[in-house]
Chain A
Amino acid sequence: MIDRVPVVKMCNIKKNFGGVQALKGVDLVLHHNEILGLVGDNAAGKSTLMKILSGAYIPDEGEIFIEGKKINMASSRDAHHYGIEMLYQDLALANNLDVVANVFMGREKMNFKIGDIGILDEHYMERETERLLDRLKIDLASVRLKVESLSGGQRQAIAIARATAFNARVTIMDEPTAALSVAAIKKVLDLVKELKKQGNSIIIISHRIEDIYQVSDRMIVLRQGRKVCDTRVTGDIDTFREHVVAYIIGARDDYA
């Protein structure tokens, strides 16, 4: 597995926001069919790094390779093109639209097209949305409900459904379990494992180390815009957590 070309390789990524150095030169490798956990304190730069991979931000410096090929990621469209999907931490849903419209936002299925504009295939999108929500075992009264009328957990499920709707090569999940009940968290983690079985490569950000421990093969810790730890997920949960937390809070800092 390791000897193959990694599906994603990010080298020396730097990003500043005004005076804030959010990323100070981060490397990241994601292997084929691997689940990579990404942890770190608030403002460590996790979301920023992933938004660079999903085309939402342009890095100030650094290179990105997909399947060993250097690419220029300039927009979400580019990321979609390379099969990279992201679930955003703030969910990125439009409250004024219904569930179906949100799941397919920006990538509506169309019956008939002239140039970029086409007639929506509502029937297909409805059925597909129902199928995706079924897979997450989310029960909605209707996929035609407006998102503003849904609960936090339901909204999160919609965002997960969208991130997993397009058979991505790489799925990034930024805090997929944040607003969820214990039962719902289990469903999401099961889905992550299921996606891996289907051949997907996944990056998952979470503040819940036990989530990462349960599903991930490897884990990276970011601290103040730097990578401070890159380790396989091994050992029992308590030792593992202790090990990781030491890096998160900066008690240990020995990354080469």
Chain B
Amino acid sequence: MPLINNPEETALIKSANKILQENIREWGMYIALLVIIIIFTITTKGVFLSSRNISNLINQTGYIAVLAIGMTLVIIISHIDLSVGYLSGFLGAVAATAMEFWHWSAPLSIALIFALGILAGFLTGFLVGQMKIPAFVATLAGWLGYRGALQLVTMHRGTIVITNNFFNAIGNGYIPDLSFIPDVGFLRGIHKLTFLLGILVIIFYILSEINRRNRMLYHNFKVSPIHLFIVKLVLMSALIGVITWILSGYRGLSWTAVTVIVVVLFYHFIMNRTNLGRHIYAVGGNPEAAQLTGISVKRITYTVFCSMGILAALSGILYASRFKSATTTAGTLFELDAVAAAFVGGASPSGGIGKISGSIVGAFVMMSLTSGMNLMGIDISYQYVVRALVLVAAVVFDVATRNKKEEIT
């Protein structure tokens, strides 16, 4: 072997190390999730992993997960949006008001709050992108304003009970089953459509991973050794399989889960396969360069905040329909869970970096903590402290792994 002294080779080694580091970062969050699940499964004597609890956990994560996706984009362009928690609560209350007091249909009410969500995003985009007000300040104003608006809407009754069945099914319903498959053998009492979908997802996952590996090989990237790759495939497939089995044993896939999956796939596609996603990353990485190459930073800022507004509306729908009501406290601290989910999921506080898949795992980490600690009956004050520690740990871990990368460079 010749000594490594030409720049290209050094660069290759550097990048190989970098990939390793990035993988450590990514594996870190899966390991964290696994540790959390194991700890709670032991401390709750298995209740945490019960079909019922996992199903609830997924529905609970839904309204945070969609916010986390929007927040990831906001963080990628080096901003933050603190207003989305109360915006989500406020929009949920508007939907409730429209259905209960104005007797609007559910689809019309939903359309209304999506429009309001876009409007809210446009407003933030204007303050941040046009007026150049720091996002932290602009959205803190939003936090106050939407909180006030939420209280105004719910003032008269405190809680608006939602009686619309269609609307309530979004947060509580499950997908129908395939009735033509006989209820025999191991399929007894199993939700077959969910089971089938799970198997399809595993096949799709394995194929796309193989495809990705081949592409990396084609581009002379260092990939993990084949046996490690197979271990990863088996572990991940087993994980999806277990979740599928758990869900099929209860009531199957919920509409909330379906909604989240659609949103995840859509955003994953936008961020990785379209010029819009590329421009969002470019603006996050170097806004001046993006502007010089003809990307309108202003337009990207508007787009990202409007997407955040739409997802806040969606989060409001999922939350209100899950609890079949709009309350004065709806949305409280959602923004912090969403920010934490994005950071746990590997988004960088300095912008330019973040993945949709990571933020979803991050959302599950945050909600597993809440759910597990609730099951254990831990006092809410301690819960806040634990969540704070996890957030700090995620960012410290991120900074530490990144610094290590720089040492190598």
List residues of chain A with CB under 8 Å of any chain B CB. 54, 56, 75-77, 80, 86, 88, 91-97, 101, 105-108, 110, 116-120, 139-146, 148-151, 153-154, 162
Contact = CB atoms under 8 A, between A and B. Distances in A.
A92 B286 contact: yes
Contacts of B294: 75-77, 80, 106-107
Nearest to A151: B7
B279 interface: yes
Contact of B352 (A77, A86, A95): A95
Given A94-B281, A94-B352, A105-B282, A118 B274 contact: yes
A149 B285 CA distance: 14
Looking at B275, B294, B353, which has the most chain A CB atoms within 10 Å of its CB? B275
B14 interface: yes
Contacts of B12: 141-142
Nearest to B6: A139
Contacts of B289: 88, 91-94, 105
B209 interface: no
B interface SS class: helix
A161 to B, nearest CB: 13
B403 to A, nearest CB: 14
B288 interface: yes
A101 B219 CA distance: 15
A116 B11 CA distance: 35
B274 A120 contact: yes
A96 B11 contact: no
B15 A105 contact: no
Interface residues of B, number: 33
A151 B290 CA distance: 21
Interface in B67-97: none
Nearest to A54: B292
10 contacts: A76-B291, A77-B294, A92-B289, A92-B293, A94-B281, A95-B285, A116-B275, A119-B273, A149-B14, A154-B11
B267 interface: no
Contacts of A120: 273-275, 278
A86 B293 CA distance: 9
Interface of B: 7-9, 11-12, 14-15, 18, 219-221, 273-276, 278-279, 281-282, 284-286, 288-295, 352-353, 409
B11 A94 contact: no
Q: Would you list the 4 A-B pairs with minimal beta carbon distance, nearest first?
A: A94-B285, A106-B293, A96-B352, A92-B289
Nearest to A92: B289
A93 B278 contact: no
A125 to B, nearest CB: 10
Contacts of B292: 54, 56, 76, 86, 88, 92
Nearest to A139: B8
B282 A106 contact: yes
B281 A108 contact: no
Contact of B285 (A91, A96, A107, A108): A96
Nearest to A78: B294
A105 B8 contact: no
Given A92-B293, A146-B18, A101 B274 contact: no
A107 B293 contact: yes
Contacts of A145: 11, 15
Nearest to B289: A92
B282 to A, nearest CB: 5
Given A76-B293, A91-B289, A92-B292, 8 more contacts: A86-B292, A92-B288, A94-B289, A94-B290, A96-B285, A110-B275, A118-B274, A146-B18
Nearest to A98: B219
A54 B294 CA distance: 11
A142 B291 CA distance: 26
A98 to B, nearest CB: 9
B18 A149 contact: yes
A106 B293 CA distance: 5
Contact of B8 (A140, A146, A148): A140
B12, B279, B294: residue with the most chain A Cβ atoms closer than 10 Å: B294
Nearest to B216: A144
A97 B274 contact: no
Contacts of B295: 105-106
Nearest to B14: A149
Nearest to B282: A94
Contacts of B288: 92
